[in-house]
Amino acid sequence: MQALKKTNFKGPKGPLVLVIMDGVGIGQYEEGDAVQSALTPTLDWLKANAVATQLKAHGTAVGLPSDEDMGNSEVGHNAIGSGRVLSQGALLVNEAIASGAMFRGEVWKSQIANALQFRSTLHFLGLFSDGNVHSHMDHLKAMLRQAKAEGVKSARVHILLDGRDVSETSALEYVAPFEQFLAELNAGHSVDYRIASGGGRMNITMDRYNANWDMVKRGWDTHVRGIGPQFASAREAIEALRKATPGVIDQDLPPFIIAEKGQPIGKITDNDGVIFFNFRGDRSIEITRAFEDDTVTEFDRSPRPKVLFAGMMQYDGDLKLPKRFLVNPPAIANTMSEYLVKSGVTQLAISETQKFGHVTYFFNGNRSGKFDESLEDYIEIPSDILPFEQRPWMKAAEITDAVLKAIRDNTHRFIRLNFPNGDMVGHTGVYQATEIAVECVDLCLGRILAAVQKAGGILVVSADHGNADDMYEHDKKTGKPKVENGRIKVKTSHSLNPVPAYVYDPSGTARLKLGAHQGLGISSLAATCIKLLGFTPPEDYDPAIVEVLSAE
């Protein structure tokens, strides 16, 4: 890879700081917009004094199949870090299924051969919704149809309930039609395909960044060992668990087992096949390691069955997780970080555990590790393990303290950071806590702004997608919040809204103005940062937000 070409502008005296306010978008409804209702003097000041615009952060603007698909932190950071729009997980899986390529692949063929050879069960485990952020039920259905067509007699489905990328209590809206779908497959008793276990995605199985391995242990005990409360059906389980904990939303539901005569119907045992059908990587890695990695010591897996495990995609290319996967992940080369390293630019990436992988792994094109140890530093602030609504400030202050030190030291020309608050607290659906989360980010942003001014740096502020800006379900015709059982229906998923983008050069040396290109997406942040550092962006990058008019 060639280094970047320098321009007449030498870059700022101090560092360029890119702040990613995770989950902070520009809402279209006043009611339910925790960003608009929060006290945000720093963002208000930037809107009035910086070069300001808004960027697309969902759908085709970040490589998803359609503009009905909400953006997420993974594809968002891929787009920001790569500077281009590339086909992402959901779209790649759609294409592989539509073309039949997935079912012609060796990994799928090996799963079928294994089930036929041992007359064993093929298990499907993953997020059970059509949210299209981690998974999609259409992918699951397509695989079950194909398994039947190829002679697999026994299949079990382990459902991780969503309520985060879809409505918070929508589980039965997915379970009922899926049970009918299975009944149609089972007609004539030629196959035996059933739901075997389940639980909320934030309770079991789908932990990320090694934040809470107890979640993975609960998932293992549920899906593999068949340990947990027993019910006759998924519907019965969901209804009973909701009754036991009034107000609980789907993502937090406890684990459950489907059993007959006191025996689980779908424990994972020797010679079974397992397909984890999530396509997104962050919440897939730990459960993958539980099945594949002999060195896992975070919990006791015994008795550990010998199974043939496969993921929908490869979740970590450097760590080779999983060993077998159905669809190749997007190959993202020539990322901004890589170009800057080749150009000798020192970099710092920092966040707390919940989003640390986003400013490193995803930002670098789904690549673990650094491009150059001598030029890059990563700082991970350990996240608290407790419900985010109970501590909505999270680790924003600690992140800010580290960033302020880096700005003062001026040893990194480019600093990128992620404040997770707007997203992680927004996902809880607790409005007051989300307002506090946004206000905390704004307070910390004010501290960074002052430090950048003092150091003669440049500040770029944006987001990877919306969330806190759209906390209520709205009627699309009237724009009013939906009401269910006498209360406003809370929205816990990401929004389809654009995100803000502010570029502030306190010294005025760069002589910035808004670029001529309209309708840009967050992928344009890469070219923007590269220009502000005094280089010419690669030709295949999306246009920068600003023009640098300096004649230096």
Say if residue 19 is in the same domain as residue 121: no
CA nearest 34: which of 475, 441, 448, 522?
A: 441
Alpha-carbon gap, residue 123 to 266, rounded angstroms: 8
List for the chain the helix, strand, coil content (%; round to 5): 35, 20, 45
321 plus 335 within the same structural domain: no
Owning domain of residue 188: 90-327
The dihedrals phi and psi of 64, each to the nearest 5 degrees, come to -90, 165
Contact in structure between 64 and 90 (CB atoms under 8 Å): yes
CATH number for the domain harbouring residue 421 = 3.40.720.10
Question: pLDDT (tens digit, 0 to 9) for every residue of the chain, 552 residues total?
Answer: 689 999 989 999 999 999 999 999 999 999 999 999 999 999 999 999 999 999 999 999 998 878 888 888 989 999 999 999 988 788 899 999 999 999 999 999 999 999 999 999 999 999 999 999 899 999 999 999 999 999 999 999 999 999 999 999 999 999 999 999 999 999 988 999 999 999 999 999 999 878 899 999 999 999 999 999 999 999 999 999 999 999 999 999 999 999 999 999 999 999 999 999 999 888 999 999 999 999 999 999 998 999 999 999 988 765 789 999 999 877 689 999 999 999 999 999 999 999 999 999 999 998 889 999 999 999 999 999 999 999 999 999 999 999 999 999 999 999 999 999 999 999 999 999 999 999 999 999 999 999 999 999 999 999 999 999 999 999 988 999 999 888 999 998 899 999 999 999 999 998 999 999 999 999 999 999 999 999 999 999 999 999 999 865
CA-closest candidate to residue 272, choices 414, 392, 152, 435: 152
The answer to whether the CB of 507 falls within 8 A of the CB of 456 is: yes
Rounded-to-integer distance, Cα 144 and Cα 185, Å: 8
User: What is the C-alpha to C-alpha distance for residues 189 and 168, in angstroms, rounded to an integer?
Assistant: 35
DSSP 386-404: S-GGGSTTTTHHHHHHHHH
My answer on whether 82 and 126 are in the same domain is no
Residues 406 and 268 in one domain: no
346 shares its domain with 321: no
Q: Which distant-in-sequence residues (6+ apart) come within 8 Å of 507 by Cβ? A: 12, 13, 456
Structure tokens that stand for 363 in this block = 């930002």
Question: CA quadruple 472, 477, 478, 483: dihedral positive or negative?
Answer: negative
In contact, 367 and 317? CB cutoff 8 Å: yes
Which of 37, 73, 129, 495 is flagged as catalytic? Answer: 73
Q: State how many domains the chain has.
A: 2
> Does residue 288 sit in the same domain as residue 352?
no
Residue 176 is part of a domain; what is its CATH number? 3.40.1450.10
Residue 349 shares a structural domain with residue 419: yes
Residue 318: count other Cβ atoms within 10 Å of its Cβ: 11
Q: Does the active-site annotation cover 190?
A: no
Segments of 150-267 assigned E as strands: 154-161, 192-200, 230-231, 256-260, 263-264
Let me know: does 303 contact 268? Beta carbons within 8 Å: no
